[in-house]
Amino acid sequence: MAQVTLVEAEPVPEAPVPDGPAAAAPRRPGLLPRWGALAAAAAAGVAMLLAFPTYGLWWAAPVSVALLAVAVHGRRLRAAFGLGALAGALFFTPLLSWTNLHTGAVPWLLLSGLETLYFGLVGAACAWTSPLLDKGRWARWSWVPLLAALWTAQEALRDRTPFGGFPWGRLAFSQDDSPLLRIAALGGAPLVTFGVALAGACLGYGVIRGLTAGVKWRLAAAPAAAAVVVVAGWLVPLHTPTGPGVYVAVVQGNVPRLGLDFNAQRRAVLDNHANATIELAEKVDAGQARRPDLVIWPENSSDIDPLRNRDAAAVIDRAAHAIGAPILVGAVLSSAKGVENVGLVWSPDQPAGAEIPQYTKRHPVPFAERMPLRGIARIVSKEVDRVTDMTAGTEPGVLTVGPAVVGDVICFEVAYDDLVRDTVDGGAQLLAVQTNNATFNESEARQQLAMVRLRAVEHGRDALMASTVGISAFADSRGGTKSETKFNEAAVILAELRLGTARTLATRLGVIPEFVIVVAALAGLAACAEVRRRDRRAQPNPTVGIKEDV
DSSP 221-250: HHHHHHHHHHHGGGGS------S-EEEEEE
The mean pLDDT value for 22-35 works out to 65
> pLDDT band for position 258 (50/70/90)?
low
Four-residue CA torsion sign, 534, 540, 544, 545: positive
Average pLDDT, the chain: 89
Q: If DSSP codes are grouped into helix, strand and coil, which group holds residue 182?
A: helix
Least confident window among 216-230, 311-325, 377-391, 428-442 = 377-391
- Annotated active-site residue 361? The verdict is yes
Predicted confidence at residue 368, as pLDDT, reads 66
The mean pLDDT value for 121-145 works out to 94
> pLDDT band for position 467 (50/70/90)?
very high
| CATH 3.40.50.720 corresponds to the domain 245-361+395-503 | no
Q: Which of 16-20, 59-63, 106-110, 350-354 has the highest mean pLDDT?
A: 59-63
Is residue 221 a contact partner of residue 202, using CB atoms and an 8 Å limit? no
Residue 436 CB-density burial (10 A; 0-12 exposed, 13-18 middle, 19+ buried):
buried
Four-residue CA torsion sign, 128, 130, 134, 140: positive
Ramachandran bin of 402, using left for φ above 0, alpha for ψ from -120 to 50, beta for the remaining angles: left
State how far the Cα of 248 lies from the Cα of 187, in Å rounded to an integer. 29
Residue ranges covered by each domain of the chain: 24-238+510-537, 245-361+395-503
Predicted confidence at residue 381, as pLDDT, reads 64
Please state whether beta strands 481-482 and 294-296 pair in parallel, antiparallel, or not at all (unpaired): unpaired
Given the residues 126, 202, 411, 528, the one annotated as active site:
411
Predicted confidence at residue 421, as pLDDT, reads 98
> pLDDT band for position 549 (50/70/90)?
very low
Nearest-Å Rg of the Cα atoms of the chain is: 28
Q: What would the pLDDT profile of 152-198 be if each residue is shown by its tens digit?
A: 999 999 999 998 899 999 999 999 999 999 999 999 999 999 999 99
Angle at alpha carbon of residue 407, lines to 414 and 255, rounded to 5°: 60
Q: Is the pLDDT of residue 3 over 60?
A: no
User: What does the DSSP assignment read for 315-369?
Assistant: HHHHHHHHHTS-EEEEEEEEETTEEEEEEEEE-TTPPTTPPPPEEE-SSPPBTTT
> Using the 8-state DSSP alphabet, how is residue 482 labeled?
E
Given the residues 155, 299, 340, 444, the one annotated as active site:
299
User: What does the DSSP assignment read for 54-96?
Assistant: TT--TTHHHHHHHHHHHHHTT--HHHHHHHHHHHHHHHHHHHT
Angle at alpha carbon of residue 165, lines to 161 and 171, rounded to 5°: 110
Longest CA–CA separation in the chain, Å: 117
Least confident window among 289-293, 335-339, 458-462 = 335-339
The mean pLDDT value for 450-474 works out to 97
- The distance of Cα 440 from the centroid of its chain, to the nearest Å, equals 17
Is residue 184 a contact partner of residue 463, using CB atoms and an 8 Å limit? no
- Annotated active-site residue 135? The verdict is no
Closest CA to 60 of 87, 24, 96: 87
Is residue 414 a contact partner of residue 433, using CB atoms and an 8 Å limit? yes
Helix (H) or strand (E) holding 410: strand 404-410
Percent of the chain with pLDDT over 90: 73
Enumerate residues 6+ apart whose C-beta is below 8 A from 361: 340, 341, 342, 369, 390, 392, 393, 410, 411, 413
> pLDDT band for position 106 (50/70/90)?
confident
The mean pLDDT value for 35-50 works out to 98
Predicted confidence at residue 18, as pLDDT, reads 45
- Annotated active-site residue 299? The verdict is yes
The mean pLDDT value for 279-296 works out to 98
The mean pLDDT value for 378-385 works out to 64
Closest CA to 100 of 436, 383, 412, 410: 383
The mean pLDDT value for 396-400 works out to 97
Given the residues 115, 126, 155, 361, the one annotated as active site:
361
Is residue 68 a contact partner of residue 40, using CB atoms and an 8 Å limit? yes
Enter the pTM of the model. Answer: 0.89
Q: What would the pLDDT profile of 402-440 be if each residue is shown by its tens digit?
A: 999 999 999 999 999 999 999 999 999 999 999 998 888
Q: What would the pLDDT profile of 51-102 be if each residue is shown by its tens digit?
A: 999 999 999 999 999 999 999 999 999 999 999 999 999 999 999 998 775 5
